Structure 1
């Protein structure tokens, strides 16, 4: 089953953070492509991208390790695990493309384009368009990003359905527990009434037993008294006869 204890899903939160870092790197790469290679701003952008790429790869690795741990504890469904594995693979592929764009000098791309088109030069605008259209460039990254967002939306929809089902299960369990508690309370009250009746009947039996013992005493005394009177009467008759 999925998420038995649904607190905050830290994996999704870190995945969204990794996605945001990817967009930030892509923005920096776009800025760097518009800067001449010899400028200070170009160097600053390159240093920032290099640092963010390292952070990006670390976060992707951490996502993979946490997903392995979650899959062992069986907190999410198999389909959800497979979906997250695909998301991680996409993140890795995007990281490779980012690194490829970062390592490919802009001037080299322009030179290759000029050789292919047979032109001696061109505007920086044409160079940017050529870079975007080049496979593995920023344009390909944007397309992958759109596909990833679609996958993420589908994953969130599936997660919402899972949470809804678990909520219904929790409500059903709560209702059943309440019903069982009412049955237990009624049973307890019935047992209390039964105990009271048993105690009352026990007292009655004790009283009756005590009365029975007293009655036997009186019967015995009466018997002895009767026999004594008979004996006395017999003696009196004998004396009268004499």
Structure 2
């Protein structure tokens, strides 16, 4: 069961390597300054990392299987040869991805000099360098770098403008916050004044009611005195 798992993982790793070479070929058809070239390069880097991890896992699994005698020595040797092939293919992938300039120089010496056929079915030389000498290649690379620098300068200016806009927006927000704080302070002051005036009105109401009570008491007292005095005067007459 473990043997079948190892073989399945090996097939998956080999297919990933084949896909990697196909992506590199597809990438080399595009201009190096194009967005498609950059996108494919990023995808290839991720796949290359996955390929390396899968290869290391296969090696570790094979070492454990051979040390525990789960498979025969002959099978170990056969699988080791398979691993060597994958390791060689990994080097080819790395060279195809990173060494485009050296591959171009090899094509200038003569495409048919090796006489051998790429077992992966992928050309070694990018088509954009075909038929160019070293000086032309260097000039083209210099032009590409200059274009990339101009693109980076433009991007830097855009970022600088966006940063300034963000600063302006931040300053405006700070100003609005200060205005809101001022309004809040005025509202608090107005609220305090309303509470104070309400207390004054209640005090005046209480005083007014008290004065009315006293006036009523005085009038009643005067009425009582008048009632007592009038009959007495009548009797005397």
What TM-score, normalized by structure 1, do the two folds share? 0.50
SS of match in other structure, 2:112: coil
Q: 1:49 to 1:212 in 2, by over 3 A?
A: farther
User: How many Å separate the matches in 2 of 1:224 and 1:179?
Assistant: 68
Per the TM alignment, residue 27 of structure 1 is displaced from its structure 2 partner at its CA by 2.4
The equivalent of 2:159 in structure 1 is 163
- Residue of structure 2 aligned with 1:192, choices 176, 188, 198: 188
User: How many Å separate the matches in 2 of 1:12 and 1:176?
Assistant: 40
- Residue of structure 1 aligned with 2:205, choices 185, 206, 209: 209
**Which segments of structure 1 move beyond 6 Å, counting only runs of 4 or more?**
20-23
Unpaired stretches in structure 2, ≥5 consecutive residues: 1-34, 46-95
Per the TM alignment, residue 208 of structure 1 is displaced from its structure 2 partner at its CA by 0.9
- Residue of structure 2 aligned with 1:228, choices 221, 224, 227: 224
The equivalent of 2:50 in structure 1 is none
User: How many Å separate the matches in 1 of 2:104 and 2:215?
Assistant: 119
What TM-score, normalized by structure 2, do the two folds share? 0.51
User: How many Å separate the matches in 2 of 1:174 and 1:17?
Assistant: 38
- Residue of structure 1 aligned with 2:122, choices 41, 50, 53: 50
- Residue of structure 2 aligned with 1:97, choices 107, 123, 128: 128
User: How many Å separate the matches in 2 of 1:169 and 1:147?
Assistant: 33
The equivalent of 2:38 in structure 1 is 14
The equivalent of 1:31 in structure 2 is 106
1:183 partnered with 2:179: yes
Per the TM alignment, residue 203 of structure 1 is displaced from its structure 2 partner at its CA by 0.9
SS of match in other structure, 2:235: helix
Q: How many residues align?
A: 151
Unpaired stretches in structure 1, ≥5 consecutive residues: 1-10, 54-94, 102-130
Asked if the contact 1:132/1:140 (under 8 Å) is kept, the reply is: yes
Within-5 A mapping of 1:55-66: none
Per the TM alignment, residue 146 of structure 1 is displaced from its structure 2 partner at its CA by 3.2
SS of match in other structure, 2:99: helix
User: How many Å separate the matches in 1 of 2:173 and 2:200?
Assistant: 41
User: How many Å separate the matches in 2 of 1:35 and 1:13?
Assistant: 26
SS of match in other structure, 2:122: helix
Per the TM alignment, residue 205 of structure 1 is displaced from its structure 2 partner at its CA by 0.6
